[in-house]
Amino acid sequence: MTTADVDLAKFLTQERRNVHLIGVAGSGMSGIAGLLLQLGHNVSGSDKLDSLETNRLQRLGLKFYQQHRAADARDAELVIYSSAIKKDNPILKSAQESGKRMVRRAEALAAIMSAKRGILVVGMHGKTTTSAMAAHVLREGGLHPSHYVGAEIPILGTNAHWDARGEFFVAEGDESDGTIALFHPEHILVLNIEEEHLDFYTDLAAIEKVFVQLIGQTSGKIFYCADDSNATRICRSSGRGISYGLSVNADYRGSDIDLRNFASAFCVYRGKEELGKAILNVPGEHNVRNALGVIALATELGVRFEKIAKSLTKFQHARRRFEIKYDSPRFLLVDDYGHHPTEINATLKTAKSVGRKRVLTMFQPHRYSRTKALRKEFGRAFDQADRVVITDVYGSNESPIPDVSGQMIVDEIAAHGHRGVSYQPRLGWVHRDVGNMLESGDLVLSLGAGNIHEQLSILAADLVIAEKLKEIVGEDGDVRLYEPLSKHTTLRVGGPAQFWVEPRNEAALSELIRFCRREKLPLFIIGRGSNLLVRDGGIRGVVVHPSGGDFDKIDIDENEITAGVGAKLKEIAYAARAADLGGLEWMEGIPGAVGGALRMNAGAMGAQTFEKVVRVRYLDGDGNAHDKNRDELEVHYRHFPLLEENFAVSATFRGSPAPREQIESRLHESQEKRRTTQPIAKSAGCIFKNPDECPAGKLVDELGLKNSSVGKARVSEVHGNFIVNDGGATATEMLQLIDRIKQAAKNKRGIELETEVQIVGESA
């Protein structure tokens, strides 16, 4: 150690000074602030963000400034800065100009550690978990260790702690910027060494050089994982190495591993001697290895194995390390911080071993440089995932690199032969893509060091509601999340339904109505979606599609036909023919079901729905059933107000006995009319109500707007009141075209066209 280092160590651990931290809200910096406060310094800190950590530290005495102003650090005798701080930071610049002492975070940590017997945990993967586990086991072993780890660890209380009573200091070293070379610890624990952080290192050799230097600066033992070839090669030759792992020649060896759902049991040997059995309540084989490293360390420091085993059983690890976000018999949602291919592989292996049917993964690549450098490895990392949705790169503090995006990883995974990978550049939509794939028995894993976990949290919150909805509709009903409504509208346009629910009977529908009212969830009923234009942002809340079961039933009793709201009008026309009932043939030409026909008082061939209705059964806003006769109902052209607040269950229509040939001929007439005057392309039927002046189709025709289009939305050349989807049209395009027609009708003919098609949902 240089004199400067010794000076700094004395300054930080034996004196009481004024210290300022720039970027104090970061997980690493807040740990240093915590240590300094416990060491008795006057600590101030600045950051553009505040956090739970800065709030906690303020209660312990931190003077926090939510901006970087030179004046706030005027009295500081030392300035500590995070590597994320830019060179033009006002406090950094003014400290530099006034010749103030300034050190990086890792320098401060190394100096604090040097006042104790330091134990540094290093390696590319598993540092936080392992350093936390080590601090926990040594603490349970009565050694009163101080600690510093890179994340909040509930079982340790805080991310950093200074304990004046103990000799040891356990810290997580950060190899990403070469600063582990600043440490002179007593012992080190080397978990693994491989290519990472290629934004800083040129290659593996450059990484190894830093590790070799650290080994040279370590006075005591070098604990290393015998299962990692790079770590073994570099550490073995030191002569002070103690190996651990699953390899047969490891000094501390695990065997007979039993990987259970979220725990592992294994036997521990030191050489030939059996130390005993350990149970670790953290999943995954890689964590068995990490635990063996901790067992080796604690044993060598004199903690009895029984004590170690007992504390391992109690250990719970950091947030975002295989963290269960939602667990039910049908679904399991897990979040993990894994962002390097090796970590992804290990986490997926763990996920697979949990024993659910499929593993669905959402992954947010972290840093452009890593995405680019390890693209091939990423391509091979997802073999154990059944489905993978990749979003765009989380840059951290990096600027984008041309052509480096999530698509690059998608291409690599696909080129590697995976058939279930897709790209969702819009992060806020990732939960929708994955949620819509969900089937009972799935495990969903969010992976990445950025903010992908927020997507999993949204999914978890919606899943709580979806499961309640499923309970209501029962085994034969169906519930899906984020169902694209383009699949359920004849126009083939529309964003997703937050909750898509298919009840099969009146009791379930009634319960759904009550549930939505209680939970203040918007409820929207959709039938065949033949008269519906859903905006591209979809529909928030519960979208109920009563179909199948009782809702599709058609019963005939003499001249009356009773049909559920899910029954197709076409089926009613055919059922009437089979019973020799006439007067309902026009129903053949309407693509909708009973519910929509009632709601719209739909019509064709000069007839309309309510001319034939005898009775309607519906549920009110409280879910109670009512039956109303036709004469009790208020009905208008293309409008039946009762169903604005209530929900139809079934309707009874009256036919009149007629000769079969007459029925056949009217059916034929309707079919011919449709065939010759209406397009077969995807549409929502007539877009506009017929105004008093003239049929809307004729008007559009006369305005010369047939065949005019916006994107893939086009006015049919067959009929002017139909807008057709040429494939992949958006609601936005449809709405623009509708607007254009309305403007023209108004400007050129003074006619206010009113849409017949229902326009619902949110913009994207």
**Does 605 help bind ligand EPU (rule: CB under 6 A)?**
yes
Q: Which residues does residue 636 pair with via DSSP β-bridges, in sequence order?
A: 639
485 within 8 A of 545, measured Cβ to Cβ: no
Write down the residue that tokens 């079961």 correspond to.
Answer: 549
Nearer to ligand EPU, 31 or 697 (CB): 697
Compute the least distance from the CB of residue 339 to ligand EPU, in Å.
52
- Minimum CB separation of residue 537 from ligand EPU in Å reads 25
- Told to check if 721 binds ligand EPU by CB under 6 A, we report yes
128 tagged catalytic: yes
Assess whether 299 carries a catalytic annotation. no
Two tokens, residue 248: 């047969």
Catalytic residue check, 127:
yes
Residue span binding ligand EPU (CB under 6 A) among the ranges 115-123, 391-399, 407-415, 714-722: 714-722
Name the minimum Å distance from CB 726 to ligand EPU. Answer: 18
CB-CB contact of 251 with 271 (8 Å): yes
The smaller minimum CB distance to ligand EPU, of residues 127 and 638, is found at: 638
Q: How far is the CB of 755 from ligand EPU (least distance, A)?
A: 10
Find the part of the chain contacting ligand EPU (CB under 6 A) among 116-124, 160-168, 284-292, 695-703. Answer: 695-703
Give how many residues touch ligand EPU by CB under 6 A.
19
| DSSP per residue, 338-352 | --SHHHHHHHHHHHH
Q: What DSSP string describes 9-47?
A: HHHHHHS--EEEEETTTSHHHHHHHHHHHHTT-EEEEE-
Any idea which residue has 């397009």 for tokens?
679
Is the CA virtual torsion 183, 189, 193, 196 positive or negative? negative
**Cα(101)–Cα(689) distance, rounded to whole angstroms?**
78
- Nearer to ligand EPU among residue 118 and residue 697 (C-beta): 697
Q: What whole-number distance in Å separates Cα of residue 702 and Cα of residue 723? A: 16
Q: Which amino acid is at 320?
A: R
Q: Does 701 bind ligand EPU (CB under 6 A)?
A: yes
Contact pattern for ligand EPU over residues 561 through 590, marking x by CB under 6 A: ----------------------------x-
Give CA torsion, residues 440, 443, 449, 455, to 10 deg. 10
Nearer to ligand EPU, 247 or 490 (CB): 490
Quick one: 320 or 698, whose CB is closer to ligand EPU?
698
Buried b (16+ CB within 10 A) or exposed e, 8-34: bbebbbeeebebbbbbbbbebbbbbbb
User: Quick check: 695 binds ligand EPU (CB under 6 A)?
Assistant: yes
Q: What angle is formed at CA 252 by the lines to CA 246 and CA 253, rounded to 5 degrees?
A: 30
Question: Tokens 């540094």, residue?
Answer: 120
Name the token pair of 623: 């879910």
Is there binding between residue 654 and ligand EPU (CB under 6 A)? Answer: no
Please, which residue, 159 or 531, has the CB nearer to ligand EPU?
531
Q: Which of 53, 54, 107, 128 is catalytic?
A: 128
Q: What's the closest the beta carbon of residue 652 comes to ligand EPU, in angstroms?
A: 22
For ligand EPU, which residue of 406, 527, 595, 720 counts as binding (CB under 6 A)? 720
CA distances from 373 to 384, 399, 416 (A): 22, 15, 17
- Taking CA 604 as the corner, what is the angle to CA 592 and CA 704, rounded to the nearest 5 degrees? 100
**Contact pick of 32, 410, 719, 745 for ligand EPU (by CB under 6 A):** 719
Our finding on whether 698 is near ligand EPU (CB under 6 A) is yes
Closest CB to ligand EPU among 148 and 722?
Answer: 722
Q: What is the DSSP string of 607-628?
A: EEGGGTEEEEEEE-TTS-EEEE
Least separation in angstroms between residue 700's CB and ligand EPU is 6
Q: Should residue 690 be labelled a site residue for ligand EPU when binding is judged by CB under 6 A?
A: yes
Q: Which is nearer to ligand EPU, 361 or 755 (CB)?
A: 755
User: Least distance (Å) from ligand EPU to the CB of residue 721?
Assistant: 5
Report the C-alpha gap between 144 and 167 in whole angstroms: 7
Stretch that binds ligand EPU, among 175-183, 388-396, 467-475, 599-607 (CB under 6 A): 599-607
Minimum CB separation of residue 340 from ligand EPU in Å reads: 56
Stretch that binds ligand EPU, among 96-104, 156-164, 715-723, 743-751 (CB under 6 A): 715-723
- In this chain, which stretch among 231-239, 243-251, 620-628, 696-704 interacts with ligand EPU, using CB under 6 A? 696-704
d(CA 41, CA 77): 11
Backbone angles phi and psi of 378, in degrees to 5: -60, -40
**What is the C-alpha to C-alpha distance for residues 595 and 601, in angstroms, rounded to an integer?**
10
Query: What gap in Å lies between CA 463 and CA 478, rounded to an integer?
Result: 14
Tokens of 532: 């519906």
Give the chain's largest Cα–Cα span.
Answer: 111
Per CB under 6 A, 630 contacts ligand EPU:
no
Q: Does 756 bind ligand EPU (CB under 6 A)?
A: yes
Give yes or no for residue 697 binding ligand EPU (CB under 6 A).
yes
Query: Beta strand 713-715 with 554-557: parallel, antiparallel or unpaired?
Result: unpaired
Please identify which of the residues 53, 54, 116, 127 carries the catalytic annotation.
127
Options 228-236, 350-358, 551-559, 681-689: segment touching ligand EPU (CB under 6 A): 681-689
For the annotated catalytic residues, the residue numbers are 127-128, 172
**Binding site residues, ligand EPU, CB under 6 A:** 589, 602-605, 673, 677, 685-686, 689-690, 695, 697-698, 701, 719-721, 756
